[in-house]
């Protein structure tokens, strides 16, 4: 189908046409509110289309490359993926409850859900919509800001499958819940649009690992949306690892709302993709809520990586910590926009934001913008952004000890990036990322066995 679209076709038309073709096959089709949510998404997407550079939030990120292409929709799990191929993505040493999605749809045979504690549901959203839509309705779509942008509307227009995680009151999940999204587009350029919903009940606790990987270097669009609800006292560590194909477009939203005394720790590591946009929006909606947003983006070649975060202190005495770092090489371009909103009622809010960037080449570019909107008077807010090269004194120090210049630079770059990775709680994931960083940043002559 991609081959037969007229030259004037755009992503918008092709996606709306594809939707008309596949809408009857989507899960939850008989449920009225699901139909309405999809319809609203389609209407809004038709109206708004893709974000334009005139939109302040998209000033530095042009989605023209996406707009100009025609995409087909992926409708069901392709059987192209065998367990051998899956093994190539496995994180060594990681024991997890695992859901595998191929092009956005659950691949049941590749998933592994043994030994889940009672009070814990881990499954596909499609199943939940077909079997128990009433349990989903109070949460789905309620956390995503309604005025977000065309991509979120587009995701809702295709709403069908993704991960559904529900932790009952005081449920503890010891092993991480791993959500693997595999793209295997082949010769079709498809739009993969998983919709994930995570509801952490009161005092529950879990770690979620959300991974995006590709089977080949094909071009496709991932437009993922994850909604997270943390009820009173819940603790959730969310690790997103983006390793899409080098030709892929990756647009992702992580939207969270936190109740009293809940803790949300979200790590975002962005490695792959040609054009990447991550939106993280977290509303600290009750007293004593805490969030930590950590991020690392490594980009080279002509990669473009945009991280937009928004933390809203809506109620008093909530705490937010944000720590994003970027390493840019070649002609890579990155954007960091960190918005912190403190509402008038949110007295004694405590917010800290830090964004540090390392530019390894003259042609790399970063636009970093902190944006604090503070409407309360008794608050502690701090932010800082740096853009720079490696510390010349540190390079000299290492060289004066006999370490070669190239090795000294790669060692310091590794250390810079590791600062984010080191904060990830799950040891197997941390080690995997340390190995990735080593491969990308450390030269072969550096001693490796113990890590810097």
Interaction site with other proteins (CB under 8 A): 391-394, 396-405, 407-408, 411-412, 414-416, 418-419, 422, 446-447, 449-452
Spatial CA neighbour of 268 closest among 221, 300, 318, 308: 308
For the CB of residue 435, give the shortest distance to other proteins in the complex, in Å. 16
Residue 166 or 325: which CB sits closer to other proteins?
A: 325
Report the residue number, 372 or 415, with the smaller CB distance to other proteins: 415
In whole angstroms, give the CA distance from residue 433 to residue 211.
Answer: 12
Q: Which is nearer to other proteins, 54 or 450 (CB)?
A: 450
Handedness of CA 266, 329, 218, 444 (dihedral sign): negative
Q: How far is the CB of 358 from other proteins (least distance, A)?
A: 12
* Residue closer to other proteins, measured from CB, 247 or 415: 415
Q: Please state the closest distance from residue 404 (CB atom) to other proteins, in A.
A: 5
Shortest Å distance, C-beta 368 to other proteins: 20
In terms of CB distance, is 226 or 413 closer to other proteins? Answer: 413
Quote the least distance from Cβ 418 to other proteins, whole Å.
5
CB atoms < 10 A from the CB of 188, how many?
16
Least distance in angstroms from the C-beta of 385 to other proteins:
18
Closer Cβ to other proteins, 100 or 437, answer by number: 437
Minimum CB distance to other proteins, residue 394 (Å): 5
CB count in 10 Å sphere of residue 225: 26
Structure tokens at 59: 């000033």
Q: Where are the beta strands (DSSP E) in 94-232?
A: 97-102, 105-106, 120-124, 163-167, 177-183, 190-192, 195-200, 205-214, 221-230
Contacts of 291 (CB under 8 A, 6+ apart): 256, 258, 263, 264, 265, 266, 282, 284, 311, 318, 319, 320, 321
Instruction: Specify the 3-state DSSP secondary structure of 197.
Output: strand
Complex with other proteins: residue 192 or 360, whichever CB lies closer: 360
Eight-class DSSP state of 117? P
């Amino acid at each position: 189908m991609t081959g037969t679209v007229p030259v004037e076709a755009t992503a918008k038309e092709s996606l709306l046409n594809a939707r008309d073709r596949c809408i009857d096959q989507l899960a939850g089709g008989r449920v009225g509110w699901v139909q309405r949510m999809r319809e609203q998404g389609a209407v809004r997407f038709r109206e708004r289309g893709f974000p334009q550079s005139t939109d302040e939030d998209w000033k530095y990120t042009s989605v023209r490359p996406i707009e100009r292409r025609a995409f087909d929709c992926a409708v069901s799990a392709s059987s192209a993926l065998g367990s051998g191929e899956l093994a190539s993505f496995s994180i060594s040493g990681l024991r997890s409850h695992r859901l595998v999605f191929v092009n956005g749809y659950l691949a049941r045979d590749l998933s592994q859900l043994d030994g889940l504690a009672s009070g814990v549901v881990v499954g596909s959203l499609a199943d939940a919509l077909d079997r128990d839509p009433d349990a989903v309705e109070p949460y789905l779509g309620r956390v995503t800001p309604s005025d977000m942008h065309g991509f979120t509307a587009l995701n809702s227009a295709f709403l069908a499958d993704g991960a559904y995680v529900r932790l009952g009151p005081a449920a503890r999940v010891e092993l991480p819940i791993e959500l693997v999204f595999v793209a295997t587009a082949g010769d079709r350029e498809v739009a993969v649009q998983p919709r994930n919903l995570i509801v952490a009940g009161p005092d529950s606790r879990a770690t979620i690992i959300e991974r995006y990987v590709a089977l080949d270097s094909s071009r496709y669009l991932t437009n993922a949306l994850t909604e997270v609800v943390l009820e009173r006292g819940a603790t959730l560590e969310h690790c997103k690892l983006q390793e899409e194909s080098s030709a892929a477009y990756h647009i992702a939203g992580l939207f969270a709302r936190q109740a009293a005394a809940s803790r949300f720790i979200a790590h975002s590591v962005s490695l792959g993709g040609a054009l990447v946009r991550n939106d993280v929006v977290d509303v600290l909606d009750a007293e004593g809520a805490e969030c930590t947003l950590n991020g690392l983006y490594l980009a080279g070649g002509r990669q473009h990586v945009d991280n937009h975060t928004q933390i809203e202190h809506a109620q008093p005495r909530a705490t937010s910590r944000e720590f994003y770092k970027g390493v840019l090489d070649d002609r890579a371009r990155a954007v960091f926009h960190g918005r912190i909103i403190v509402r008038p009622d949110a007295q004694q809010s405590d917010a800290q934001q830090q964004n540090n960037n390392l530019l390894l080449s003259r042609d790399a570019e970063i636009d970093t913008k902190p944006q604090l909107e503070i409407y309360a008077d008794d608050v502690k807010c701090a932010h800082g952004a740096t853009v720079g090269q490696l510390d010349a004194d540190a390079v000299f120090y290492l060289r004066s000890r006999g370490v070669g210049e190239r090795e000294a630079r790669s060692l310091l770059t590794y250390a810079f990036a590791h600062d984010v990775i080191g904060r990830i709680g799950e040891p197997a994931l941390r080690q995997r990322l340390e190995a990735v960083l080593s491969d990308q940043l450390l030269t072969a002559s550096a001693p490796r066995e113990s890590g810097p």
